[in-house]
Structure 1
Amino acid sequence: MKTIGIVCEGPTDFIVIKCIIDMLTGEENLYRKLQPEETLAGRNGNGWKGVVKWCRDNWDGRERLMHQVQPEIDFLVIHMDGDVSRKEKVVHCECASSADCDRRGTVDPLDCDKTPESRAACPIQLPCMDHGAPIGGYINHLTHLISEGKPYRDDVCIVIPCDSIEAWIVAAYDKNGDAEKIENPWETIISRRKTYHEIRVRGSSKNQRTFSDFADAVCENWSDVTRICESAYNFEQDILRLAAQV
């Protein structure tokens, strides 16, 4: 059994990630959900901004954090969905496309889009041309955002499902070779009807019980998911590498 710290956007992502890790390692591991905190009123909130804030506060001191709890954390998994790169202008503040922004360097990008006026005035154009092909570009862009370009591979797996972790669900069920190219697969495919492959979908909100069922299907069809989804294959290789080091 390994002890694994998870930093992710939300509780449904946590369910899928830990199910896959248990399947890949062949054991039931112990998980510490570091982010989001148990209450969404926590210091960082949830979503991608919560992930960025957690990494800002803990990245350089993560080794101390991992060893100050019992049992000690063997490695970290940090998750962010690729749609953040596709649709959130503020994550492109260091790109060439923001060179004309008169707020650059004076305002925290995480605070820059809080009003309709600031969002409308943002000069960043999407899609950003600085990141190459969408899937690989999103992965590289957000990996750099999380790690701030610092080394991390000895104790961290950064996973960027594209367009979101729901693309892995679509790949598992539908064997759709374009799963990672679908924008917002939750709304455009999974939640369009009351059931998705006979699993009840409770409206537009994401239900943890439903995602537990989805996670089982992803694990059962994991070879299809990794064949279709570049991000899933990368995740598998990173988890196997880190598990072998423990």
Structure 2
Amino acid sequence: MSALVRHSLAAASFTLTLAYASSAQAVYVDPTIGSAYPLFTSIAGSVSYDGWNELSRTGLGFASTDTAGATQALVDGIQANIIGSGDAVLARASGTLYPAGSALYNAGNNNPQVLSISDSTVASGITTLVLQSYVGLLQPASYATAVLDINGGTQSLLANSVTGVVVGADGEAYRTWTWDLTGLGAVDSYSLQFTVGGGAVQAWAFQVDQVAAAVPEPATTALMAAGVGVIGFIGRRRSAARR
């Protein structure tokens, strides 16, 4: 293979790699523990994300004693508060979760606590939705579930995969919920219902990523086509030379 062909293919491969690389995402850490806890994962192929952190009274901009005001803000809906986020909204759909000293907190009952995350400005062509959560489930009977509705419907779609790890003595757990949207048509809006229950709960942080199938940039496609064209040209010259 000639140096020109090798150079063209190398350039095309390098540009294609850049086109498929994901941008850096927001990261989170338990504010009471710091870097001893792992951070959320950057999701490959994410084209838009929304994140919530510092879900305490003061983190939401209220006085440390203003539980009523911070709780009403949660009921009304809190827009994603991580730099770079879109305009998705986190709200308390039912239950008694409230912004406490360092996180959303519930204690004293075993009733389900339901948070909703909704977004009506979804990126075009998304194929996957990924929810990352960091929630302390402080009792053995605790649980967490998540279901998805799209385009204003009530499908209650279960995640295709759920992964996670408990990272603290009190049951703090990182979980990742992934929904495959291929075959469901265009997605214009979504609503996630995140339910926790089983007693004392602390909800620290959430992030939702909209993921689209990687498509090479026009410049990448042109460069690859040029590389293929060079190979074809050299091949024709060699064939002609053999005649």
| Class of the TM-score when normalised by the shorter of the 2 chains | under 0.3
Report the structure, 1 or 2, having the larger strand content: 2
The structure that has the greater radius of gyration is 2
TM-score by length of 2: 0.28
TM-score, scaled to structure 1 = 0.28
Bigger relative contact order, structure 1 or 2 (CA pairs below 8 A, ≥6 apart): 2
